[in-house]
Structure 1
Amino acid sequence: MRITKVFRQKPKTGILMLNMGGPSTLPEVKPFLSRLFNDRDLLKLPFNQELMAKFITERRYRMIEKHYDEIGGGSPIGKWTGLQGDKMVELLDEMNPESAPHKYYIGFRYAAPLTENAISQIERDQPEHVVAFTQYPQYSCATTGSSLNHIARLYGEMGQKPSSTWSVIDRWPVWEGLIDAFAECTIAGLNQIPEEDRHKAVILFSAHSLPLSAVERGDPYPHEVAATVYAVMQKLGFRNPWRVTWQSQVGPKKWLSPKTDEVLEEFSKRGRKSLVIVPIAFTSDHIETLHELDIEFAEEAEKAGLKHYIRAPALNDNSTFCQSLADRVQHHLNVEIPRGESFNAQLGLRCPKCTNPSCQEMRNFFNERKRMLYASK
């Protein structure tokens, strides 16, 4: 188990790193799935959400436990987020002493360390300012939106206002350091293919899929994924053919396509025998990379007769990526907040067909935090 650093100084700036999280042990799988299927910001189940979530969890958890067992007994996302956070605040303390000391908090939506525990710790520490920093580079109502809704909901349930001022980094799909890090990982994948085949390799940028109903509602996620991919390919000089594909669909509804696993055979039939898979919407390894891409899709690639199936490394503790985290927070603190941008203008705009009242309540919450932030200056 990873031992976190002891933080003895009162932090001036807190950074809440938001993500879905993942069960670190097999006994955590069932409660993880229960929280996930009970999240109405993520998906709305028919009939009674709580009963349906319980039914689905009971049907699926043993299979999911088996998957986690096959990747070592749990998700490493907590470990990687901790390493990223350690490096980020270490860099920020040097780069930005005026907002130091910095302390990061991990706020996972469905697994420990949960957001509610992070909020409790923040209220105990009472930093002057807190940045809610999404670790989903591309915004979706189902991911970043759900995490931000949850923060507002938690304070409402506590019946108190935050003791700190707050601001939000709610998306960063084309941040230069992020693009540099993804480009490095893509090159590392390409370099595993012999030189005579490398230039012909197809790069598949694989992102977690989204139901078409969410896209039709106005969710910006697929457009922001496309922006990240184009920026990476621009950095690489468009040296290889590439496509965006989608993975991890759940349930019978229509989701974004083409599916990552289904294109493997199609490209093989057309003579494309070398593929590099780049997990473009994830900032660390977890079940979707370690099991779905590395085990399930690798088997499909072998059946399809691919000569080379390479999964590019995830960002994990990539030094360029860790530097980009610090750079992104520094830019937010020193540039965006002073010019009146405590959160992205896009966050203030709900999806055109949004009917979720939590989305407006969240915006009301952070608008109030914005007024408090500038009133304190």
Structure 2
Amino acid sequence: METAAAPRTGKVGVLLVNLGTPDGTEPAPMRRYLREFLSDRRVIEWPRAVWYPILYGIVLNTRPKKSGALYKTIWNNERNESPLLTFTRAQSEKLAEAFKDRETVVVDYAMRYGNPSMESVTKRMMGQGCDRILMFPLYPQYSASTTASVNDKFFEVLTKMRFQPAIRIVPTYHDDPVYIDALARSIETHLATLDFEPETVIASYHGIPQSYARRGDPYPDQCQETSRLLRTRLGWDEKKLMTCFQSRFGPEEWLQPYTDKTLEKLAKEGTKSIAVFNPGFVSDCLETLEEIAVQGQETFHHAGGKNFSHIPCLNDSAEGMAVIETLVKRELAGWA
């Protein structure tokens, strides 16, 4: 006679992982953060013999002060931390609340670069009795420079462990209906609060070098698919919802069209009202709050545009948490 399997006694960890954040806006913490970020072979794929002299000879001597000044404009002074850290912690806390009736589930968060580190949080989860960990890279669209980098770091952490947990990784969700619906509802809700109607809404994704895409990175195709599904959901055409790419760095050609150039071009061609949102970012951060909401708005106005609005990321909103909770519960099937 077949007997029922014995119940598991270990706990299940859910680890939310975002890109990262400096510990402060001063040059020293900015330099530490930028050194870790820009030393990642997934982020900068140039040969080390070419890149390191540039990184250590130029970038780390000039960029920390400039980046620190930009971070100061969006810094959460009350908590003395970046908005990315504030929102990621809130997402973790709200997800933990959603699982409060499941004593075997432990929810925590970490950063790929900076603190809290993936290694420290993974060890903490193991110390809390987690023999299984669901790791969630908080990137809707897959790129080797983001998702794969998080995976690499997680596996690196595991290589240092004598006893390793069983692991699962939440897959890319760029086309998941719950994600598309959440984006659409957040856009509709925000536009309803405006005293103008945007002629164009730009979906601005973080860019990657064209060379990465040519070598097989699926990121640009997944961004275009997210935009296509959003157009269908909202009933818009390609003129109403445009796809652009931001945050280029260095001399290489990046994914186009560029967001800043598009904002300038549209304004010069007579577009007076525009809104921009960032579907590739789960939480608002420097690239959304400063690069788009501030610099993007200045570019549009300077070129002749009148009305500009930045639509916030999903952050820890009800729509955003519905996405995270749905995906986590789906991937925990059979574990919790």
Structure 1 residue 293 displacement after superposition? 0.7
2:208 is the counterpart of 1:206: no
Match of 2:332 in 1: 333
Structure 1 residue 242 displacement after superposition? 1.2
Structure 1 residues 297 and 149: CA distance shift in structure 2, 3 A: same
Which of 220, 223, 228 in structure 1 is aligned with 2:221?
223
2:171 is the counterpart of 1:170: yes
* Structure 2 portions without partners, runs of 5+: 1-8
2:182 is the counterpart of 1:181: yes
2:162 is the counterpart of 1:160: yes
How far apart, CA to CA, are the structure 2 residues paired with 1:54 and 1:41? 18
Structure 1 residue 231 displacement after superposition? 2.0
Match of 1:301 in 2: 300
Aligned partners of 1:141 and 1:219 also within 8 Å: yes
Match of 1:71 in 2: 74
Aligned residue identity for 1:191: A
Which of 108, 112, 118 in structure 1 is aligned with 2:111?
108
* Structure 1 portions without partners, runs of 5+: 1-9, 339-377
Aligned residue identity for 2:233: K
For residues 303-349 of structure 1, give each alpha carbon's deviation from its aligned partner in whole angstroms, at most 9, with x where no partner exists. 011121110111112112112211111111227x89xxxxxxxxxxx
Moved more, 136-145 or 312-321: 312-321
Aligned partners of 1:45 and 1:52 also within 8 Å: no
How far apart, CA to CA, are the structure 2 residues paired with 1:89 and 1:50? 41
Aligned partners of 2:227 and 2:241 also within 8 Å: no
- TM-score of the pair, normalised by structure 2: 0.88
For residues 243-294 of structure 1, give each alpha carbon's deviation from its aligned partner in whole angstroms, at most 9, with x where no partner exists. 1000000001010011101011211233221111011100111100111011
Match of 1:238 in 2: 236
| SS class of match (1:132) | strand
2:133 is the counterpart of 1:134: no
Aligned residue identity for 2:44: L
Aligned partners of 2:106 and 2:125 also within 8 Å: no
Aligned partners of 1:188 and 1:312 also within 8 Å: no
How far apart, CA to CA, are the structure 1 residues paired with 2:215 and 2:193? 40
How far apart, CA to CA, are the structure 2 residues paired with 1:103 and 1:231? 33
How far apart, CA to CA, are the structure 2 residues paired with 1:161 and 1:255? 42
For residues 175-227 of structure 1, give each alpha carbon's deviation from its aligned partner in whole angstroms, at most 9, with x where no partner exists. 22222221122123423443xx52x6201000100001110011011111122
| SS class of match (2:242) | strand
Match of 2:20 in 1: 21
| SS class of match (2:45) | coil
Structure 1 residue 49 displacement after superposition? 5.0
Structure richer in helix, relative to its length:
1
How far apart, CA to CA, are the structure 1 residues paired with 2:188 and 2:275? 10
The total of aligned residue pairs comes to 319
Structure 1 residues 230 and 11: CA distance shift in structure 2, 3 A: farther
| SS class of match (1:68) | helix
Structure 1 residue 52 displacement after superposition? 3.7
Match of 1:53 in 2: 55
| SS class of match (2:315) | coil
Aligned residue identity for 1:201: E
Report the aligned-residue RMSD: 2.2
- TM-score of the pair, normalised by structure 1: 0.79
| SS class of match (1:334) | coil
How far apart, CA to CA, are the structure 1 residues paired with 2:14 and 2:321? 14
| SS class of match (2:225) | helix
